């Protein structure tokens, strides 16, 4: 049985299903170990009886997650008086903000 798009839309409305396209440039999903980056995404926000879900498709890339944020790097830069590159290296080496700051102060 083949349904045309208008019939599908009518059926979806009867079931309380609403879909809205979202204009997005990039979608990033952060997990503990990786960042999933979806370029040229097609994003649909689907609302069914008050529950919102998102359907995303596009060109998928994965990259290893550093385990710290830009705010963490900024904090180390500010408190230890080092470059962003040195702050990132220290965060990777010491594993935490306080440890990185102390480690950089001890090294310097």
The domain spans of the chain are: 5-64, 70-107
Section 47-66 average pLDDT: 89
Question: 5-64, what's its fold?
Answer: Ubiquitin Ligase Nedd4; Chain: W; (2.20.70)
58's tokens: 């596009």
Section 28-49 average pLDDT: 88
Q: What confidence score (pLDDT) does residue 96 get?
A: 87
Alpha-carbon gap, residue 19 to 13, rounded angstroms: 9
Section 58-86 average pLDDT: 89
Calculate ∠ Cα 69-74-79, nearest 5°: 130
pTM, to two decimals: 0.54
Section 83-97 average pLDDT: 90
Are the beta carbons of 58 and 36 closer than 8 angstroms?
A: no
Q: What confidence score (pLDDT) does residue 108 get?
A: 61
Looking at the chain, the whole-number percentage of residues with pLDDT higher than 90 is 52
Q: Cα dihedral angle (81, 69, 41, 6), rounded to 10 degrees? A: -140
């Amino acid at each position: 049985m083949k349904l045309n798009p208008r019939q599908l839309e009518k059926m979806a409305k009867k079931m309380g299903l609403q879909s809205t396209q979202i204009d997005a440039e990039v979608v990033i999903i952060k997990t503990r170990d990786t960042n999933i980056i979806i370029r040229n995404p097609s994003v649909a926000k689907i609302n069914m009886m008050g529950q919102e879900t998102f359907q995303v498709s596009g060109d998928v890339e994965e990259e290893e997650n550093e385990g710290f944020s830009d705010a963490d790097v900024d904090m180390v830069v500010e408190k230890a008086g080092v470059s962003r590159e040195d702050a990132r290296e220290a965060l990777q080496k010491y594993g935490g903000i306080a440890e990185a700051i102390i480690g950089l102060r001890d090294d310097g």
